[in-house]
Amino acid sequence: MDPLIGSLIAIVALIVAVFFTASLWMPRAWYRAMLYPGGRPNALAGFLNSASARIFAAGILPNSMVTLETAGRRSGRVYSAPVVMAEVAGERYLVSMLGESANWVQNVRAAGGVATLRHGGAEQVRLDEVPVSERAPILKAFLRAAPGARPHIDVDLNADVSEFAKVAPLYPVFRVTGRRR
């Protein structure tokens, strides 16, 4: 590998690491205001999400960190988003930390749940929306698996599942079905 490419990968990985760890030490409101004003990613968050999607797709991080590819609901163009899968009772789930307004959520719904997951290879999957009444334990598992999502979900990581049930209507959850690698 060319040393310049290796250096660039290391720099991007460092930026992504700072991005994800900022959610651990920065107050939630500051983090959201800095990177997600109005609940949408700003230019910096967009850049970091794009870099994360490339790194997740490469398959060099844990298997729970994947890139979700969906067809754009209006353009038909393929869009990529870095996501973290939660596993509960042997089932895989994707959670929208930004709630209903996340583009990937709207694209998945428009595509009838058809999507692709990338992590060192491509996996064609179907994403089925989980009823609100079943989301609480999945949200709790998701916060354990995705430290970067903690500022977006206003429930303490160690809270009882009943606390997660209160916010469950705000965060779409999708069951991942397809072959496992």
List the one residue out of 151, 175, 153 whose CA is nearest residue 166: 153
CATH of the domain at 52: 2.30.110.10
Range of the domain at 59: 3-177
This prediction's pTM: 0.81
Give residues with Cβ within 8 angstroms of 150, minimum separation 6.
23, 24, 28, 143, 157
67-109 pLDDT tens trace? 999 999 999 899 999 999 999 999 999 999 999 989 999 999 9
Given this model, what pLDDT does residue 126 score?
A: 97
What's the structural domain count of the chain?
Answer: 1
Specify the range with the lowest mean pLDDT, choosing from 1-5, 45-49, 52-56, 147-151.
1-5
Q: How far apart are CA 37 and CA 72, in angstroms?
A: 23
Give the model confidence (pLDDT) of 131-178 as tens digits.
999 999 999 999 999 888 888 888 998 999 999 999 999 999 999 998
- Confidence tier at 19 by pLDDT (50, 70, 90): low
